[in-house]
């Protein structure tokens, strides 16, 4: 009568994941560096299922069924290495360590390689949904060997969120760091979604002249349509909330400085290395960063510019409809960029990512869960080789219909001096993809001028260089 699985690291996430497993009928060994947390878990929630508290690593490992399966839910980084260093020597060939923390996928690749050499399976599992998700059903993105996934599948599928069609929000994402890579891109998309909703709010507030309560109503209406998503719902909840202390809208009582833990930044850093333009995510990361530069903002507060003027009620209503179009179109672009990044990562790191299946496991449990993701799943089901989501016939038609309003909203933001970098960057990306000719021709010619970096021509094959410093004849450079 040994435990089915073990969880070590019993802060908010680990504790709730262990409870989720126990409530699903598994017997769960629980362990934490500081044993007080282990005792607290069993005292408070012991009645929910079968927990086996262990004070030492050895006791913990010895209490697990073979092959042993243990999940570590400790702080990402050095703590994860410390846990692996402590537990790996106690394990045997075929045992499985699952890292459910927010590790960087490059660390996961390294850890997986090191443990594989010792015959131990290492599964880097991205887990999204926060504390509540861990307890009631997160979206789980496991990467590692297929064999390790198979041994975990019933448990993971049992505790994961379920999509509307009943399917569990987890799948074998790919080998080694694939799960944590996919989780990272999920978080990047989450940043972009939040930024776009923020821009919609800003425009509705300052141009439409709506109160936070009115905007909450608008968001609730949108949430009943194609923008239906957890983040839309959360935004409406926050905007409808009144601050107990001041009686003012809660959002006005919060300092306008957005923080970040780093997964958005990792997404952008990795995208730069892969050469993938994820401008929506990058603008979102920069916008958070800018908001925190209070000195810079104070020093710039008197700079000249237009003051937003609120419009009349009828115009405001029409404008709100346009903002819905702009938000939807920009969201579509940022998802297209995110999926481009998934494809590029798969190619670079040799993962066989199923792009539709990733959309499917984000339909529930995770922070970006939304009705929209089922359409992305369907787009890849119809054409697994889809070059970009924007090329899907339905999405292309929708963005085509939205673009007039999208441009109007971006122009309004510019005219009123309201920063909307997410809307604008998405539109610039869309227009750059559409453009027959890009000024990149001039850029490449400049590079050839000052650095002899050569160029190709539109009319013949080959590599060319112009003797800019001499008689400007063109020579072959290949």
Residues 108-167 that bind ligand NBP (CB under 6 A): 127, 130-131
CB closer to ligand NBP out of 31 and 363: 31
**Count of residues making up the chain:** 478
Write down the least CB distance from residue 30 to ligand NBP, Å: 11
Is position 37 an interface residue for ligand NBP (rule: CB under 6 A)? yes
Is 75 part of the annotated catalytic residue set?
Answer: no
Cis preceding-peptide flag for 67 (omega within 30 of 0)? yes
Helix (H, G, I), strand (E, B) or coil at 52: strand
3-state secondary structure 140-159: EEEECCHHHHHHHHHHHHHH
- 183 touches 127 (CB < 8 A): yes
51's enclosing H/E stretch is strand 50-53
Considering only 76, 231, 323, 326, the residue that binds ligand NBP (CB under 6 A) is 76
CB closer to ligand NBP out of 101 and 364: 101
Record the tokens describing residue 305, joined without a space.
């510019």
Considering only 2, 34, 294, 446, the residue that binds ligand NBP (CB under 6 A) is 34
> How many chain residues are in contact with ligand NBP, going by CB under 6 A?
22
Is position 33 an interface residue for ligand NBP (rule: CB under 6 A)? yes
Write down the least CB distance from residue 156 to ligand NBP, Å: 15
Considering only 3, 5, 7, 13, the residue that binds ligand NBP (CB under 6 A) is 13
**Measured distance CA(211)–CA(205) in Å, rounded:** 6
Is position 74 an interface residue for ligand NBP (rule: CB under 6 A)? yes
Site stretch for ligand NBP (CB under 6 A), options 28-36, 195-203, 418-426, 443-451: 28-36
Write down the least CB distance from residue 74 to ligand NBP, Å: 3
Half-sphere exposure of 132 (CA within 13 A, CB side): 4
Write down the least CB distance from residue 134 to ligand NBP, Å: 7
Give the β-pairing of 464-466 and 5-8. unpaired
Site stretch for ligand NBP (CB under 6 A), options 71-79, 213-221, 308-316, 391-399: 71-79
Considering only 42, 79, 238, 371, the residue that binds ligand NBP (CB under 6 A) is 79
Is position 102 an interface residue for ligand NBP (rule: CB under 6 A)? yes
> Of 190, 283, 324, 398, which is the active-site residue?
190
Record the tokens describing residue 273, joined without a space.
């290395």
Record the tokens describing residue 348, joined without a space.
């670079």
Is position 11 an interface residue for ligand NBP (rule: CB under 6 A)? yes
Residue whose entry in the numeric block shows the structure tokens 């297929």: 146
Residue whose entry in the numeric block shows the structure tokens 């709730």: 16
Considering only 3, 5, 7, 10, the residue that binds ligand NBP (CB under 6 A) is 10
> Of 183, 199, 283, 398, which is the active-site residue?
183
* Closest residue to ligand NBP using C-beta atoms: 101
3-state secondary structure 418-473: CCCHHHHHHHHHHHHHHCCCCCHHHHHHHHHHHHCCCECCCCCCCCEEECCCCCCC
Q: CA quadruple 235, 225, 311, 304: dihedral positive or negative?
A: positive
Nearest to 358 by CA among 187, 134, 171: 171
Is 190 part of the annotated catalytic residue set?
Answer: yes
Contacts with ligand NBP by CB under 6 A lie at 9-14, 32-34, 37, 73-76, 79, 82-83, 101-102, 127, 130-131
Query: What is the set of active-site residues?
Result: 183, 190
């Amino acid at each position: 009568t040994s435990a089915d699985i073990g969880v070590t690291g019993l802060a908010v996430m680990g504790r709730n994941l262990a409870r989720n497993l126990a409530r699903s009928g598994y017997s769960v060994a629980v362990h934490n560096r500081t044993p007080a947390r282990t005792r607290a878990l069993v005292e408070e929630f012991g009645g929910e299922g079968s927990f086996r508290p262990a004070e030492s690593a050895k006791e913990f490992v010895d209490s697990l069924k073979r092959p042993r399966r243990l999940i570590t839910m400790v702080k990402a980084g050095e703590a994860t290495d410390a846990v692996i260093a402590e537990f790996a020597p106690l394990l045997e060939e075929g045992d499985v360590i699952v890292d459910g923390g927010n590790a960087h996928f490059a660390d996961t690749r390294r850890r997986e390689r090191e443990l594989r050499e010792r015959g131990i399976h290492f599964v880097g599992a991205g887990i999204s949904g926060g504390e509540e998700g861990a307890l009631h059903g997160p979206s789980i993105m496991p990467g590692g060997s297929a064999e390790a996934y198979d041994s975990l599948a019933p448990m993971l599928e049992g505790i994961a969120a379920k999509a509307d069609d009943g399917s569990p929000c987890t799948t074998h994402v790919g080998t080694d760091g694939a799960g944590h890579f996919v989780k990272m891109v999920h978080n990047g998309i989450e940043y972009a979604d939040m930024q776009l909703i923020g821009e919609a709010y800003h425009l509705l507030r300052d141009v439409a002249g709506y109160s936070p309560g009115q905007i909450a109503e608008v968001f609730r209406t949108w949430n009943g349509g194609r923008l239906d998503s957890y983040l839309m719902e959360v935004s409406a909840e926050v905007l409808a909330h009144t601050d107990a202390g001041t009686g003012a809208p809660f959002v006005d009582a919060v300092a306008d400085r957005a923080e970040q833990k780093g997964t958005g930044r990792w997404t952008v850093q990795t995208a730069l290395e892969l050469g993938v333009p994820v401008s929506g995510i990058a603008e979102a990361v920069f916008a958070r960063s800018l908001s925190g530069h209070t000195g810079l903002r104070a020093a710039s507060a008197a700079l000249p510019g237009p003051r937003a003027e609120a419009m009349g009620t009828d115009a405001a209503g029409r404008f709100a409809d346009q903002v819905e179009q702009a938000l939807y179109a920009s969201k579509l672009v940022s998802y297209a960029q995110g999926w481009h990044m998934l494809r590029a990562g798969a190619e670079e790191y040799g993962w066989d990512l199923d792009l539709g299946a990733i959309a499917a496991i984000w339909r529930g449990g995770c922070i970006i869960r939304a009705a929209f993701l089922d359409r992305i799943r369907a787009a890849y089901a119809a054409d697994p080789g889809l070059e970009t989501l924007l090329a899907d016939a339905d999405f292309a038609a929708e963005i085509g219909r939205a673009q007039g309003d999208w441009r109007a909203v971006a122009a309004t933001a510019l005219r009123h001096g309201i920063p909307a970098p997410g809307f604008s960057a998405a539109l610039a990306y869309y227009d750059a993809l559409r453009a027959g000719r890009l000024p990149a021709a001039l850029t490449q010619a400049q590079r050839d001028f000052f650095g002899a970096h050569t160029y190709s021509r539109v009319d013949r094959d080959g590599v060319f260089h112009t003797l800019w410093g001499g008689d400007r004849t063109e020579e072959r450079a290949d």
